[in-house]
Chains A and B, each alone.
Chain A
Amino acid sequence: MKVTLFIPCFIDLCYPSVGMSIVQILERLGHTIDYPEELTCCGQPAFNSGCWDEARDVAVRVVERLKDAETIVIASGSCGAMLKVFYIELFQGTAYEQKVQSVANKTFEFSDFLVTKLGVTDLGARFPARVTFHDGCHGLRELNLKEQPRTLLSHVRDLELLEMPEAETCCGFGGTFATKFPMISTAMGDGKCASAQETSAEYIVSNDSSCLMHLQGLLDRQGKPLKTIHLAEVLANS
């Protein structure tokens, strides 16, 4: 299958190994990767800030480039929700409505693509550590990603998955919210880190690097040993 890869801006810039891991995994499964280098961002920061015109200008390029793709895999639940859910709202009543819907239909968040679309659950990975999984809210509630990442983790050798209390509670990132209301965002993040710590896990795993960026930032500032890692990096490990 020819898979068109959408790598969100912050993964490109700060967490490229997430993208590399996805490439490695998909190629190992025998798929061809098409990576549109001219695309960087889905437009969510503008959308979330109320600047829908600017968001639309960014989104139009994305839709135009992706409309002919066979299938699209996206490395983040949040950006996936943007393409699959919020674009529909953004382009409602415009000439792009149908194109947007067709892009949405063939877009998959990475773990969903593996489990639901390909039916792959065991990637032969090994990751000797205790981990807990953090559900990014957009992936969880907009895209119904709950079981997919857990199914994948359950097949990783030497990995112990520990569920944290209140796993479905938001970590407090929330895009621009994190800097507009840093005190609330931090209070929420502290709660999330405490829940994760309670499990005695060594890693917080998630399918959303944006949540992890926020949590890792907090953990680093507080000098805590808990680490964060993206699901794709765990699955690419052997």
Chain B
Amino acid sequence: MTTHAQQFSSDADRTTRDLEQRAQIQSALRSYEVARDAHKSAFQDWEAARQTAAEIKWDAVNHLDQYLSEFAEKLQARGTQVHWASNAQQARDIILNIIRANNARSIIKSKVMTGEEIHINEALEKAGFEVVESDLGEFIVQLRREAPYHFVFPAMHLKRGEISELFSRELGTAPTDDPEELTMIARRVLREKYITADVGISGANFAIAETGMISITENEGNARLTCALPRVHIALLGIEKVLPKLRDLALFLPMLATAGAGQALTCYNSLYGGPRQPGESDGPEEFHVVLLDNNRTHLLADKEQRDALHCIRCGACLNVCPIYRNVGGHTYGTTYQGPIGSVITPHLRGLQDWKHLSNASSLCGACTQACPVKIDLHHHLLQNRRNAFTENPAWREKLTFKLFRLVMNQPRVYLFCVKLSRLIQPLHRFVDGTRLDPALGWTKTRKLPKIAPQTFKEFWQNRK
């Protein structure tokens, strides 16, 4: 059986060779970066805003029990049913039960990453329900039966021609090269679904404790329609989404838009605090909020990495990550790609199975610098490496670094090694870059540096 680590390496090997795909991703993310920088510089003090956002999230996460209880009570007081799910199975069961109790047939979904996390679509389809993704990018990847490539830009890996072909094949539409026409095809197909769907499923970007509301950020309006028309609205969200106060959004909404998409503000930032209230002209009859743990409390218990729960899923760390830019989103094999995914997936799905993601980093720190809530991402990757090694030391690594310690701490052993290497190096050219080369990890694409005829230590000795 292929392990996740082997799968990652072989996929990375393939994707890094796909120069066309790499160029497309990089040019898209470069244009994002230009837009982001423009909006960042519009802030009077981005760094102070970042620090404040980080502290508000710290407060929320470090008093999570209080804020979560407050959030749930406020929602219930206005007729919302709040459900608690410890794991994915429970969350799926809760959602299925609500759907069955309402004799629902068709379901419309707006973008919900926690849904990807618990594989809700598969569960719903298996149970015989029709479920349609309404976010354009999600709609496209659902038709392709593949996972989102990026948790903010799900279809960024596809070219318009591929999307046109996909629509022709799956929807029977005429081929077109025009992104606007392609968008209008999706609009027409989905319009009917909103009106006929019995249940709308959404996620949430924030959960406001003070007022008992979920906040949803989107550009297309699909989430607004999903939460307006169907008779039942189910929102699935992780327990870490909490913000203490409604007014905190005045800071978080523009920061999310700036860091996430390079916009001043996303087109629709909507708050939902219950089902249709007396005197209101529309809205669902039932509103259900499902709060998902699914090992988030495991991450919460790690005080070093607890700040990873501050994440607002803006995707800024993916966008600037040179690893993401070169291997692409599917290579990760996770719901959450990029640096934040590499940090949290070991907590959500097991350290030994997912530690390779923490190793697959040059620790450049671009992610940490980009994070609007100051998550210490690249240091957490180092901590994951340490934890993985402490928990289950690989013998080869153990031996390597015991030797390393010996060589570096014993000047005479080091000197011996220098001399030995000088003797061996001339022989290396016979195997350089071949399968017999013990340094093939380096030499396959790079020449080895030469050992100097006189090391610095020798120079210093001679000088004295």
Binding site for B on A (CB under 8 A): 7, 9-17, 19-20, 35, 37-38, 40-41, 43, 45-52, 54-55, 57-58, 61, 86, 89, 137-138, 141-142, 166, 168-170, 172-175, 177-189, 191, 213-214, 216-218, 220-221
Tell me, yes or no, whether B126 is within 8 Å of chain A by CB: no
New contact pairs (18) apart from A61-B409, A174-B362, CB-CB < 8 Å: A12-B456, A13-B451, A17-B452, A49-B385, A49-B397, A52-B389, A89-B379, A137-B364, A142-B365, A172-B322, A172-B362, A174-B361, A174-B363, A178-B362, A183-B16, A183-B17, A220-B446, A220-B447
- In the assembled complex, how far is the CB of residue A6 from the closest CB belonging to chain B, in whole angstroms? 11
Q: Which residue of A lies closest to B445 (CB)?
A: A186
Q: Which residue of B lies closest to A185 (CB)?
A: B362
B408 touches A40 (CB 8 A): yes
- In the assembled complex, how far is the CB of residue B339 from the closest CB belonging to chain A, in whole angstroms? 12
Q: Tell me the bound Cα distance from A11 to B369 in angstroms.
A: 29
B362 touches A188 (CB 8 A): yes
Residues on B with C-beta less than 8 A from A48 are 363, 382, 385
B390 touches A50 (CB 8 A): yes
Interface string of B432-464 (1 = CB under 8 A from A): 010000010110111111111011111111000
Known A58-B409, A182-B445: A177·B369 in contact at CB below 8 Å = no
Residues on A with C-beta less than 8 A from B447 are 216-217, 220-221
Interface string of B9-21 (1 = CB under 8 A from A): 1001100110000
Q: Which residue of A lies closest to B362 (CB)?
A: A174
A187 touches B16 (CB 8 A): yes
A16 touches B446 (CB 8 A): no
List 7 interface pairs A-B (beta carbons < 8 Å), by A numbering.
A41-B408, A51-B401, A54-B404, A169-B364, A170-B364, A184-B16, A217-B446
Per DSSP, chain B at the interface is: helix
Known A89-B379, A216-B449, A218-B446: A19·B459 in contact at CB below 8 Å = yes
Q: Tell me the bound Cα distance from A33 to B264 in angstroms.
A: 53
Within 8 A of A (CB), among B308-363: 322-323, 326-327, 359-363
B359 touches A180 (CB 8 A): yes
Pair count A-B, CB < 8 A: 185
Known A137-B366, A174-B362: A16·B389 in contact at CB below 8 Å = no
B446 touches A221 (CB 8 A): yes
Tell me, yes or no, whether B119 is within 8 Å of chain A by CB: no
Binding site for A on B (CB under 8 A): 9, 12-13, 16-17, 22, 26, 30, 322-323, 326-327, 359-366, 368-369, 379, 382, 385-390, 393, 397-398, 400-402, 404-405, 407-409, 411, 414, 418, 421, 433, 439, 441-442, 444-452, 454-461
Q: Tell me the bound Cα distance from A46 to B433 in angstroms.
A: 26
Known A54-B401, A141-B368: A16·B386 in contact at CB below 8 Å = no
Residues on B with C-beta less than 8 A from A169 are 322, 364, 366
Per DSSP, chain A at the interface is: helix
B441 interface neighbour in A52, A180, A213, Cβ under 8 Å: A180
Q: Tell me the bound Cα distance from A47 to B412 in angstroms.
A: 23
Known A45-B404, A51-B389: A179·B441 in contact at CB below 8 Å = yes
Residues on A with C-beta less than 8 A from B405 are 46, 54, 57-58
Q: Tell me the bound Cα distance from A220 to B429 in angstroms.
A: 14
Q: Tell me the bound Cα distance from A141 to B376 in angstroms.
A: 12
Known A41-B408, A43-B408: A51·B398 in contact at CB below 8 Å = yes
Q: Tell me the bound Cα distance from A234 to B267 in angstroms.
A: 51
Residues on A with C-beta less than 8 A from B461 are 37
A37 interface neighbour in B418, B454, B460, Cβ under 8 Å: B460
- In the assembled complex, how far is the CB of residue A172 from the closest CB belonging to chain B, in whole angstroms? 6
- In the assembled complex, how far is the CB of residue A9 from the closest CB belonging to chain B, in whole angstroms? 7
B457 touches A174 (CB 8 A): no
Residues on B with C-beta less than 8 A from A181 are 9, 12, 359-360
- In the assembled complex, how far is the CB of residue B119 from the closest CB belonging to chain A, in whole angstroms? 28
A14 interface neighbour in B361, B366, B441, B451, Cβ under 8 Å: B451
Residues on B with C-beta less than 8 A from A168 are 366
A177 touches B359 (CB 8 A): yes
